[in-house]
Structure 1
Amino acid sequence: MSLQLPEALRHVLPVARWEPWQAGRDGAALWRSSRYVIKVQPLRPAPAGSLRDERERLRWFAGRLPVPALVGYAEEAGQEYLAMTRLPGIPLRHPDALLHPERVVDLLARALRELHALPVRDCPFNMSLPVVLRAAAERASAASPESQGALAQRQKLAEALRERPAREDLVVTHGDAVLDNFILDGEWLTGMVDVGRAGLADRHTDLALAYASLHARLGAQVAETFLDQYGRALIDAGKLDYYRRLGELA
């Protein structure tokens, strides 16, 4: 298995040895060299999500918070390709990082506080509940009605609509704030990756996923410590549960 780069990217990327890395969220294939990362996925109709979304967010975050630098984007033969620089380090979910849970919790809480402190008026990406629920409804309508998965998704969607909070505490969010998407190099975070879902949303969008990710990897006590580090005064337990379940619709 090898990576065949479209001509547009061959002009901007140096010759390199590309190795398959892992599957990204939504099934995107990831390839990496010593200096770059490339995501590849089939072109999809809205609202399934396009790598163009991540391209625009990488552009916006540049100079605001550390993210990979955008190198190029291309579409060819029904596929889309996003090329970016590779951040040095390992994801926070790496076994070596998890040897130091206090550092993981401290760095993740600090990173999310810094992200959520960005001015909302400057962010052009709307990922609020009306947008997310509408996209989920469109995906549910497009799915085969006979499939068991589609039935489960429709049930979760009905629950999300019925129980949606009356008010959103809008901040700039990552949108997929799991341990995999924050990169550690030594004692510091070098940045965040997979920002294709970033945008204005309730802060619990990030807090719920971060909490669940920590709980799964390091246990309940560490996850609770994360909430303490972020700031208990900003946490709503009901919203934390709601946005955890909403994440299953994404």
Structure 2
Amino acid sequence: MGGRPPLREYLRELGERRHFITMQAWSSATHQHRGMLLGNLWMILQPILDGLVFLLIFGVILRANRGIENYTGYLVIGVLMFSFTSRCITAGASSVHDGKALVQAFSFPRAALPLANALRQTISTIPVLVAVVLLVLVTAGPGVVSGSWVMLPLLFLMHTWLNTGLSLIVARWGALIPDVRQLLSYVVRFLMFTSAVMIPIDRFAEALPWSRPILEANPIYIILTMYRDALLYSTMPDTMHWATLTAWALVLSVVGMVYFWAAEVKYGRRR
């Protein structure tokens, strides 16, 4: 219970428990709407309703669509695909705490919990991705379909990789500092407004010119831009964006795993 195996052994043990991680993620994702009249249909209805609410507020009331081609599709992609990352962050921070009973009762690599969370959010986001495609087709018409759409599965895979690294990092924070689970909601909100989810970063750069390089290096901004290029603007995502996103995903996943493993002996201690 109190030991920490070498990192190589730790990773091997995680691999041996891949079936546990998969089943826990699948069970959580497919049973989250159990007891509701429409059941898992909410996995598609909820993102569509979220998109319509944001469209009403930012597209109709606030008129944030100035200068943006096909703002409805722009907003739908931004809001719904950002929610994938936001859920991974907030749920990842609570993953070890929510699995405290397992942690205190069994010996297993604790990283299985944030990894299962990331996989759960990935499974839950597949219907969201379907909803995004449908909404883009409805708002932009069938003519928007192009060869760049073939990049969508790869973009989603890269997005999942990025979110997994983030989930591992915040899982350690949330497990050792309970207050972090409350503070992260504000961090997520800040990321929403600085990742061009609803309005382009040009409007931030106009007010704070020095911020443009920082905003453009944000991996969430990059992945959203790549989704929009592929789905809305019939453009293959930029090579530099691919390189930067790959670097972010690799660094966050490696650092996240090592960072989480380093505190393995602290998880689940009775306070």
Shared fold, TM over 0.5? no
- Which structure has the larger Rg? 2
TM-score range, shorter chain: under 0.3
Q: Which has the higher strand share?
A: 1
Q: Which has the higher helix share?
A: 2
Of the two structures, which has the highest relative contact order with CA contacts closer than 8 Å and spacing of 6 or more?
2
